[in-house]
Amino acid sequence: MTRAARTRSTRDIARAAVRAELAQVAFDLFRREGFENVTIDDLAQAAGVSRSTFLRYFGTKEDAVLSAFDAHGDQVADALRARPSEEDDWTALRRALDTVMAQYRQDSAGLLSMMRLVRDTRALCARQLEQQHGWRPLLAEALAERGGLSVPATLAVSVKAAAALDCLNIALDHWTASDGEHDLEDLLDEAFAALNPR
């Protein structure tokens, strides 16, 4: 590894650590004060940074909360490509979503708090749906590649990707409404089973 590559990776690690710390400060403040009651200036002050520094990491308040999900679309698409070729699309989609379930298994209480904040805040809910809308073509493309189909994806493949994301959202909604009493993975399995084409 060259010195420049080491420096760049060290900078990237430091930037990611600062970003994670700012996101945690924002999340804690939003939970305490309410999303609508907190300004970017409040977030910067709570984090001990300037407004411009905060905005260098997050363009909006919504981004500060939803950055925790930024990589999910790519992660699920990569997991989907890695599924066995003999597996049907619907099963492969469900299993690929295990990458999202990893966050649930690692910190279910933290995820529940996050989902409560998102579901109770119109701006966050809308921004999360917009974020997931960007995941749909990634999943459709991964499904098309698995099936040896041409990219861009066909209508049928796009519908499967959209349905899988809807299953995830509905499972998350039910889990959040149950205050975490139900098992999220069981709810996701149940949602997928409701649309099982077999």
Q: What is the CATH number of the domain that holds 37?
A: 1.10.10.60
Domain boundary among 21, 47, 64: 64
Rounded to 5 degrees, φ, ψ at 2 are -75, 160
- What tens-digit pLDDT sequence spans the chain (198 residues)? 455 555 568 888 888 889 989 999 999 999 999 999 999 999 999 999 999 999 999 999 999 999 888 889 999 999 999 999 899 999 999 999 999 898 888 999 999 999 999 999 999 999 999 999 999 999 999 999 887 766 666 888 999 999 999 999 999 999 999 999 999 999 999 999 998 856
The residue segments making up the domain with residue 182 are 71-194
In the chain, alpha helices (H) = 3-33, 40-47, 51-57, 61-66, 72-82, 89-96, 98-106, 108-120, 122-146, 155-177, 184-194
Same-domain status, 93 and 60: no
Residues 8 and 183: their CA atoms lie apart, in Å, by: 41
**Does 54 share its domain with 99?**
no
Other residues' Cβ atoms within 10 Å of the Cβ of residue 79: 19
What is the number of domains present in the chain?
2
Q: Are residues 58 and 77 in the same domain?
A: no
pTM value?
0.85
Q: Count how many Cα atoms sit within 13 Å of the Cα of residue 188 in the half-sphere of its side chain.
A: 20
75, 157: one domain? yes
Q: Which CATH number is 85's domain given?
A: 1.10.357.10
Q: Please indicate, yes or no, whether residues 182 and 130 belong to a single structural domain of this protein.
A: yes
- What pLDDT sits at residue 150? 63
